[in-house]
Amino acid sequence: MKILNVLYSTALNKCPRCHEGQVFEYNNPYRLGSMFKIHKSCSHCELKYEREPSFFYGAMYASYGLTSGWFITWFFIDLFFLHMDTLSFAVFITLSIIALSPLTIRVSRLLWLNLFNKFDKNFQKKELTSI
């Protein structure tokens, strides 16, 4: 069940604690001018996304894992089915990693955020109080 919560939050750009607010300002990862723009906190539960300065530097570990997994998967597909020559394979892998890098950055940051913040189904919505 925890994996499903992480996948839901990561795939839909949702807050890891309440699954209501957006983490990134824009849903399109290929909007390159605003690729790194993250809200300061959740609009619903007010979870502060960046726990400390440079918090998302740790997301590089998740990015490395995702990129390595992509390479290993295509290596075995090539080894057993495609049989491309080395240069063609290197060009394909390089271009695909470059093309997928905005998506990889987004997913790795969302996974890193989910590592430190768990979904709380009993979390109460913030109440609007009258002044």
Mean pLDDT by 10 residues, the chain (131 residues): 92 95 95 92 93 93 97 97 96 98 96 94 62 51
In a domain, 60, yes or no: yes
In a domain, 83, yes or no: yes
What is the predicted pLDDT for the residue at 127?
A: 53
In a domain, 126, yes or no: no
**Sequence-ordered list of residues with C-beta below 8 angstroms from that of 48, at least 6 positions apart, any chain:** 40, 41
In a domain, 129, yes or no: no
CA distances from 59 to 31, 66, 85, 108 (A): 20, 11, 33, 5
Q: Residue 34 is part of which domain span?
A: 2-116
- Provide the whole-model pTM: 0.88
Please give the tally of structural domains in the chain. Answer: 1
In a domain, 91, yes or no: yes
In a domain, 122, yes or no: no
Q: How many CA atoms lie within 13 A of 3 on its CB side?
A: 0
Among candidate residues 35, 58, 9, the one with its CA nearest the CA of residue 106: 35
In a domain, 106, yes or no: yes
In a domain, 27, yes or no: yes
What is the predicted pLDDT for the residue at 128?
A: 44
